[in-house]
Amino acid sequence: MSTPDSGTDGFIQVNYRKYDGTLHWNLRMRPLGEDEHGVWLGLPADSVMRKGHSPAVPLPEAHVILFPRDAWWTAAFNAAPRSTKIYCDITTPPAWPSPGEVTAVDLDLDVLLKRGAVDPILVDEDEFAEHQKLYGYSDDVIDAARRSANWLLSAIADRTGPFAGAHRPWLTMVDTA
């Protein structure tokens, strides 16, 4: 496992944007490392994140986010007792404009696995349909988003790839990073 570069303060700025460029979810995370699945960043319990420029939203449980290479999604793995164990955002492939920043365009669709559930679910299809018109998603973007959502539904249900427990060692590192 290697460690990704970080900004001058040791953290990486994570910026999710909407298709029109508007700032969406944003937070500062600790770089944990990199493996065959991508780059892992962590956020300790009792941290915060923001939606756009709104006030901070508290996050009582620790979590890690996987930023895969060349994939149209990111995946957050949440510590217990958070009710959502895995939360995948369908996004454009994550980009690293600098060593201290990662960005992705949130394409609305999300795949989640609730704690204790066997099968993942797809949510926010109404928002995806609405934003296709509002933001003018291209056919290529729509197709990539749908393919990614379908792949995630299968991979999470089958517990394959990064969903076979790859997050566990990273999650234990969050409070010690």
Sign, CA torsion 27/32/33/34: negative
Domains of the chain plus CATH, in order, are 12-170 (2.40.380.10)
pLDDT tens, position by position, 68-77: 999 999 999 9
pTM > 0.75: yes
CB 34 within 8 A of CB 2: yes
CB 35 within 8 A of CB 1: yes
pLDDT tens, position by position, 52-111: 999 999 989 999 999 999 999 999 999 999 999 999 999 999 999 999 999 999 999 999
The burial of 97, by beta-carbon neighbours within 10 Å (0-12 exposed, 13-18 middle, 19 or more buried), is given as: exposed
pLDDT tens, position by position, 16-31: 999 999 999 999 999 9
